[in-house]
Structure 1
Amino acid sequence: MTDDLFTDRLRLSRAVPADLDAVFGIQSDPRVWTHYPSLRHTDTEATIRMMQRWERSWERAGLGSWVVRLRDTGEVIGNGGCTLLDGGVWNVGYRIAADHHGRGYATELARAALAQARIVAPERPVIAYLVEHNHGSAHVAQKIGLDLVHRAPDAGNPDPSVIRLVYADRPLAPAQLAAALR
């Protein structure tokens, strides 16, 4: 499998160190983190650690998150894909730059990621975990065919009223669900 994948409008590329500034620009933008502001990256070290997690997934499982570029211009507009979690599940994630919200890019990215996960290791469940008030993210999970399998308070969230949702493409074993709640 190639590390680059093309969709109708996007080029999905395995991250390289030269992508750091563009990825940090998205991860540090408060407009992208309105649903979970405490996770916003405030320094590049957080982005480096995230990109290292992606790379470990690529090395371990043959799939990880990509840097998302517009196919026609090459502009970096996000990141996401399927990353292997310790519980043996794929986590489909999608983070799109605020200036590009509402154009269907997250759904296009998530569909491509789900398809690749099913090619690379179809026996592994695909999950999406998010906070309940992030309706856009929940809508993407539903559009790619994931079903709600868990709803509970979000342990460790600075806001104790926040609810964690987990969507999945199949029922999860307890250890698999636990991976989404870490």
Structure 2
Amino acid sequence: MAARTTRLDLARPTLDDVDALHAIYADPWSGRTSRACASRSASRPSGWSPAGSRPGRSMASGNASCAHRGDLLGHAGCEVRDDTFVNLGYRLAPRPRPGLATEAALADVAEARDRRPDLPVVAYLVAHNHASARVATKVGLTLRHSAPDVGNPDPGVVRHVYADRELTDAELAATLR
């Protein structure tokens, strides 16, 4: 089943989304450029149970209220990780689309809190991604951890972990795996 926000239709990804998703990922800012990566994202299983009202990971398209009606704009959603936290993720096309990532993320956080109130909602991102940090803050997440991004080929990259509550040591360790 699909869900709708004010300007977005959120639906289960399909392999038909690969070309449009690849165009979004091919932007140098995203760090992902391969068609194979786009294919994995489109075919990745949902983060919620099949009985859910919509998939945990959704393709976001502009609906009739959006200036980008019918365009695949990216993906957004939540996935339960290690039964320890709910990972909030969003990646929209790099062209200016004010508020759309926040709109999608607000819907995702609300659903995560409804489905798994026992788990913290977490967004982890690199420190230089200021736009993503603004979205995390706008949806009620707070910076809880900042440290070098272990394993990143660029040793100067810093990883930020935002969450809707304080994280236990085990929850933080799970987000950093």
TM-score of the two chains, using structure 2 as the length reference:
0.88
Match of 1:123 among 118, 126, 130: 118
RMSD of Structure 2 on Structure 1 (CA): 1.8
* Cross-structure match for 2:75: 79
Query: Which residue does the alignment assign to 1:178?
Result: 173
Q: Could you give the per-residue CA deviations for residues 96-135 of structure 1, whole angstroms, max 9, x where no partner exists?
A: 1012x35111100110110111122111110000111111
Aligned residues: 171
Q: CA deviation at 1:17?
A: 1.9
Q: Distance in 1 between matches of 2:83 and 2:22?
A: 27
For the Cα contact (< 8 Å) 1:87–1:179, is it kept in 2?
no
**Residue 15 (str. 1) matches residue 52 (str. 2):** no
User: What CA deviation, in whole Å up to 9, does each residue of 1:20-70 have, x standing for no partner?
Assistant: 22112212222x42xxx3xx132x2222323343x1423479441110000
1:47 to 2:55 alignment: no
Aligned mates of 1:77, 1:134 — CA distance in 2: 18
Q: Secondary structure at the match of 1:58?
A: coil
Find 1:88's aligned residue among 69, 84, 89. Answer: 84
Q: Distance in 2 between matches of 1:166 and 1:56?
A: 22
> Which stretches in structure 1 are left out of the alignment for 5+ residues?
none
SS in structure 1 at match of 2:162: strand
Call closer, same or farther: CA 1:27–1:58 in 2, change over 3 Å: farther
| 2:164 corresponds to 1:169 | yes
Bigger shift: residues 76-85 or 19-28? 19-28
**Separation in 2 of the partners of 1:163 and 1:9?**
33
Q: Flag as ranges the 4+ runs of structure 1 deviating above 6 A.
A: none
Letter in 1 for 2:4: F
Structure 2: 5+ residue runs without aligned partners? none
Counterparts of 2:57 and 2:81, CA distance in 1: 12
Give the counterpart of 1:136 among 131, 142, 155.
Answer: 131
State whether residues 61 and 84 of structure 1, in contact with CA within 8 Å, keep that contact through their aligned partners in structure 2.
no
| Residue identity matched to 1:48 | S
Report the 3-state secondary structure (helix = DSSP H, G, I; strand = E; otherwise coil) of the residue aligned with 2:47: helix
More helix by share: 1
